[in-house]
Structures are given as structure tokens and as C-alpha cells.
Amino acid sequence: MADPTITPELVRKHNLTLEEYARLREILGREPSYTELGIFSVMWSEHCSYKNTKPLLRTFPTRSPRVLVGAGEENAGILDIGDGLAIAFKIESHNHPSAVEPFQGAATGVGGIIRDIFTMGARPVCAMDSLRFGELSEPEVRRLFGGVVAGIAHYGNCFGIPTIGGEVYFDKSYEGNPLVNVFCLGVLRHEQIARGAAKGIGNPVFYVGPATGRDGLAGAAFASQDLTEESAEQQRGAVQVGDPFMEKLVCEACLELLATGAVAGIQDMGAAGLTCSTCETAARAGTGIEIELSRVPQRAPNMTPYEIMLSESQERMLIIVQRGREAEVQRIFEKWDLPWSEIGTVTDTGRMVVKHHGRVVADIPARQIASESPVYEREAREPGYLAAVRAFTLAGVPDTQDPGADLKALLGWPVIASKNWVYRQYDYMVRNNSLVCPGSDAAVLRLKPDSLPPLRVPEPEQPFEKYLALTTDGNAVLVYLDAYEGGKAVVVEAARNLACAGARPLGLTDNLNYANPHDPERFWQLRESVRGLAEACRALRIPVTGGNCSLYNQSPAGPIDPTPTVAMVGLIDRPEHITTQWFKDEGDAILLLGEPVNFADPLQGLGGSGYLQVVRGLKTGTPPQCDLEQAQALHEALHSLICSGRVKSAHDCSEGGLLVCLAEGCLSQNLARHTSRLIGATVDLRLAIPAAVVDRITAEYLEEQLAPGSTAASPAVDSAPGPAGAARGEPVVDAGSAAAESAPELVRLDALLFGETQSRVVITCAAEDATMMIQRARLLGVPARRLGTVGGDELAVQAAAGRWSWPVAELHELWWHSLGRAMG
């Protein structure tokens, strides 16, 4: 079959501009072949080249003493965890494929990220996800959601890797364009780090894995354009079909092969398939590569060179072998019953040469196609809707009149409700190293000798155990309402979740999900949120080890909210420091670290809150500001308190605010339906008066005292450390004082109960330790106060406006089953 004539229309269909086509011709010094046009189209797509995001990505901090392989160097970043051990991890998206074929799109997303990890020489030991969908009232959203969860479960469970944590959000902006971000982490020794470079002139190039088909054709290009009904139908063939059992064989064969020392370079065939793996390995090594397509195993008849090079069929690897050791490679592949073929050679030409039955169909400079794509500085303009967001006040929003109804509405909201419907489909205990499973602020995984890849000559393993905490986070509503502050909050919340688990952050990998970068308002969102992400990473000293950019996430219904997600990994020093979010024992004291309300915030933490969205139907308001120094102080103080051995639980206060945080402490122990094991709490939020309010009330009292003939009652001074004034030796407003009664005029009840002020954590400890814990937190620069006591079968709350209580079993029933009921 003759190749089609290259016309401006054909160039446009390949997502290349006429300017890019002119540059292509300049590089080649001639007109391209049809296969070369396809190669350039995928390698210069946003998905592969990051041509719209490279300048922004360079602002991330990427170095620390623990970084062994940094961002952009290889398929995944690698961090030192001590004792000669390291971890490799990364997150990537499979958004467009999941919108078209949710089961296979999500499943192959898991398969692709697993390959990125064992390509580095690491044994994959866990996965996580970060998912976004439209509103579950829509049947199509339920279909997509069910298919994606089933696909993740299928691939992870069959491969034998625990999906140990994740997050799920629902918002109308994702209708028609769901987000499916998947993460994988692996473990290896320092000396086992593998590289994706075609080293050694004359070394043979091997293909291993199932035969190449037409599935996944030009998937990288598909992911780099807006998602429409027409494009989805045309690109249904761009969705790959995965085989997790085959991937398990490929993984074990590759790890065994790497142990022999016969591998000079290794790369998976992910986005852009054989095209990307060949030119990238040559570019990294500064060499050339020549392959013969007739030697590539093919499962479809009469495949063209274009189809073979651009296919994204799954579970395939490209391996550069040390010359003279081919027999070892063949023996291992045959042992694992894997298809393989020697398809080419490393050359000294610096070019990627592709032949088909001896005829050259592509001859391209490897570095220019792989590393020197066009880079653009897009126009940025602040979105017009932000004027209304910033002008929003609470003047027209009545305070809550029924906290119980509002609490139940939030606990039943799919964003906050238990995600057990999702994670019960995952095998999160396989390999028996999951110490904290889905349902707490962060998952915790134990690493031990059987987590490591094999050695060439087996040696007696020195026993060891390492403990990692892992989380995925990204509140896109905050980013939509304030891209810079929201970007900071994404990183800070992830770090706070790790701190609640007893961990110090090691590094993070990001997934930047945004709409069309050619729209100045959409690009402004991207630029400003990246600025916030980068600033938070620098302030918290957390390196970015790599990640993924997924742009063009918009459907005919409109663009998605700007959605940066991060997966963060932390190290826990000792097993006794592992901490979970649920309350533990009757009589324990409940403490709040951080201010209950930021009084300097005109919206008192309600901007962008779940309360405004669910109860008031408003997605607006300036979100709470994220003070990075305050955040770091909280994380350090919490880590110190946990290491003292006296913290029994710790829970991040975020979506839904303080009352939801307290309710989750009562509800979230992972005991399925065993409600008899649930535990209640009694809290007095009259004690939770912000320091600014205390200062104001105290000033008013002093002014009254100094007035002639004043008979004002003195504010009571709390004998135990309580509100912030005590830390400075000032009068402290007691819950029963006259001054406390004036606090409601300054702090709204809905803000106190449901506001989402940043940098707050609820912890519990034995009652006799409470005073000491409060004093220690304050010495470390963190406001702290006692809110109440664990115990009983109700969640009882006292505030200045009244007292309310709800049976914990009733709240649990609502929170536990809401998502499942929504799915039918």
C-alpha cells in the first residue's frame, strides 16, 4: 500500500502546525516520509515533548541529598532511603483513553506506570490512584467511574501489586473528561539502578513482550488534543488493551535479566511505543540506533511501518544487550515463555534509522526528535471569573441554623464520604506489607528483603524493615478559585497527611492536569498554580522527582478545573511512630493543633469550602491562604509530638472543616460494618476561640476596666493551657466567661464548624498527657488547645450557639454507604 501524499490537511490531522512542519523539513533537509511524519507528530506532541510546559517545569526544586536519579533524567525518579536502599516512583495520567474506554484506559494506565518503575531496575511494590469525575447523578459519569475503578482493580490485582491508597473527587467540570492519574513505587539497591540509554556501539537491540498490534495507535497524539465526540470515536483504536499476567512475566524476566549484568540499557514502550523507546535511548546515550521492522513480532497482518512505529500495544520492552551475551538474554526470555526478537543495533551515527524489509522508511537525528522539540511561551491572562470570586462576601449567606443537617449533607457528599466502594475492589493487602490501608490520611507500607529485585548471585540478606507513608492529594476547587494559593495548598496538604502518619517527606511526583494551553486564561491557571506548587516545595524542602503533564483536558461542555495532583512519599523512622486518623480509647483527650479559624480571613475559611458547595450551592469565594512557615512549623511540631510516643491519633483537618474532621475520627477506623466498634466524642468548641478573637476581647475588657466606674467582670484565666493567649502570659477567655459569649459575634458558627482554614490537625492522647502536649506544641510555635474527650456512642458538640449530638452509628451508616448507594 502506497503512503498517502503529505498535504497541509494531513499535517494538521497529525496535530502539527505549519511552522512545526517547516522545522521538521529543516531538520531532515527534505520532505518527510509518511512514517517520519507520524514519528514527529507523536514525539512533538505535548504528551511526549512538554513543549508548552518545559519553562514552567524548570521552576520546580529537583535536588536534595537523597535524590539519586532526578526529574527528567529517566523514566522515574529515585531517592535514597538509607542502608544502600532506594525507591523509584512516579505518577502519570491516562485521561483521554479512560474517557473513551474506561476499563482498558485505566487498566493500561496502571500497566504503563508499573513498567516505568521496573524499567529503573526496581521491584514494584505498591500503587495508588487519583481520580476525578463529574457528578454521580449522571448515568454516564457512573458508567465511567465504575469502569475506571474496575480497570484499576483488574490490572493491579492480577499483577499482584497492592493499590494501597488514593483519592476521588467529583465535580461537574470533569463531565466528559475524567482524570485518571496512577502512581507506582518500587524498591531497589543503589547498585541496581538501570538506565534507559542505548550504550555500546554494536550492541544488539532486543524486543521482548507480546506482538505489536494496531491497538494504541498514536495514543500520545490523541492525548494531546481536545476531547470531542468526533475525536473520541476516531481514536477509539488509540486505547490500548492490557494483559496484566503478561506484564508480570515481563517484569520478572527483566529483573532477572538486569541481575546478570548483560543489559546495557532498557526502556519500556509506553507513549509513542517503539518510536519513543528507540530515539530516546539513543538520545540519552549520544549514540544512534538502527532497527528492522520486519523482525518486530506482529499480531496483525500487513502492518505498515507507520503502524508498527506508532503502535502503543502494551507490555513491550526495548533492551540493549551487551554484545556477546545474547544467549543469556534468550535463555531468560524463553524460561519465562516470552516472545522476543533481536531487531537492531546501536550505531555511532547519532541517528534513528528505521528499515522495513531493508528499505529505509525513517532516518532522523535522534537527539533532535527526542530532546529538541519546539518550546513555547504561551500568552497568559487572568480569567475574568476571578473578579466575582474575589468580590464574594458572606453578607448574603445566612449562618447555619441546623449544624446536624449540614454535617450529614457533607458526610454523604461523595467527595467526603467513605471511598470503601472503591478500595474494596482493590487487593490492598497482597504481599502482606500494607500496614495502614486505604481509609486514613496516608497509607503506610513496610519494606523488607523480599521487596527487592533479585541478585545475580544470591546472598544472605541482612534483615531490614523500612516504613513508607504515601498519599495523593489535589483540591482543584481551591486552584480554580486561586491558582497560586491553591497550588501551595496541594503540596501542603500532602505533607500534612504524611505528618499525620508519623512521616517526614522524601519527595513528590506531580501530575499536572489542565485544559488547552492555547487559551490564555487556561494557561494563566497552569502558570500560577505551578508557581504555588514550586514555592511550597521549596519552603518545605521537598524535591520534585518527576511527573506528568496532561493538557487539553476539555470536552465540548468546557474545560476541567485546573487540577494539579501530587503523590508524596515519606519515611517513618520507627514502627511505633506509625499513626492513624481514628480515635482510639475512651477517655482520651482531643487536641487541636493550629488555629480553629483564621480571623484575618474575611471569609473565615469558607471560601471554596465543601460547606459552601454542598449546603449553599456556591463554588466561589477566595480560599484560605496557605502560610508556608506556619505549615512547616505544624508539621515539625506534629512529628516531634508523635516521636514522643504520646500521640494516639492524628487527622488532617481539610475538606468539610473541623466538625467533619472530628466525625471522621469517630467513624473512619477500617472495620467495615462493625459499628459496635465505633467510638464517640464530646467536644466543646467554645474553647476553640481564635487567638485574634481572644486578643480583641481582652483589649475590650481592658478598655472597660480602665473606664471610670467600670464594673466589668474579669475574664477567667484558664488554669490549664488553652487558647493562644496563655502562651504569652495574657488573660485567657474561658468557655464560661462573659467574654466568650461575645465571640459568636466575631466568629460565624458555620465557619467554626465547617471552615477549611489551613494548617490544622486534630490529635488525641491520654488525658494525663494533654497539658504537656499542649505546652510542647506551643513551645514549638504552634497554637494548641484541648477540645474535648473521646468516648460514648455519640458525637456531641457544644458551641456558644447551642449543643448538638448525633449517634455515631447513624453518622457511620450515612458516611459508609453514600458512595455505594449513589452507584446503585
List the catalytic residues.
47, 94
Are 316 and 273 contacting, i.e. CB atoms less than 8 angstroms apart?
yes
Q: Is 11 exposed, middle or buried (0-12, 13-18, 19+ CB in 10 A)?
A: buried
Which residues share a beta bridge with 563? Answer: 513
Alpha-carbon gap, residue 473 to 511, rounded angstroms: 10
Calculate the alpha carbon distances from 153 to 109, 186, 331, 729 in Å: 12, 19, 33, 56
Alpha-carbon gap, residue 572 to 465, rounded angstroms: 11
**Would strands 288-292 and 351-356 be described as parallel, antiparallel, or unpaired?**
parallel
Which residues share a beta bridge with 511? Answer: 548, 565
In the structure grid, which three cell numbers stand for residue 703, read together?
478598655
Are 108 and 94 contacting, i.e. CB atoms less than 8 angstroms apart?
yes
In the structure grid, which three cell numbers stand for residue 57, read together?
517545569
Give the phi and the psi of residue 477 in degrees, each rounded to 5: -60, -40
Are 345 and 287 contacting, i.e. CB atoms less than 8 angstroms apart?
no
Are 624 and 758 contacting, i.e. CB atoms less than 8 angstroms apart?
yes
Report angle CA 76, 82, 87 to the nearest 5 degrees: 20
Query: What is the 8-class DSSP label of residue 20?
Result: H
Calculate the alpha carbon distances from 663 to 368, 493, 605, 656, 673 in Å: 56, 19, 19, 10, 16
**Count of Cβ atoms closer than 10 Å to residue 222 Cβ:** 27
Which residues share a beta bridge with 509? Answer: 567
In the structure grid, which three cell numbers stand for residue 657, read together?
472543616
Alpha-carbon gap, residue 19 to 39, rounded angstroms: 17
Beta-strand (E) ranges in 711-771? 761-765
Alpha-carbon gap, residue 105 to 94, rounded angstroms: 6
Residues contacting 522, CB < 8 A, separation 6+ = 514, 515, 516, 554, 559, 562
**Count of Cβ atoms closer than 10 Å to residue 803 Cβ:** 10
Q: Which helix (H) or strand (E) holds 468?
A: strand 466-473
Q: Which helix (H) or strand (E) holds 685?
A: none
| 3-state SS assignment for residue 133 | strand
Rg over CA atoms, the chain: 28
Residues contacting 813, CB < 8 A, separation 6+ = 675
Alpha-carbon gap, residue 759 to 766, rounded angstroms: 23
**Would strands 794-799 and 681-684 be described as parallel, antiparallel, or unpaired?**
parallel
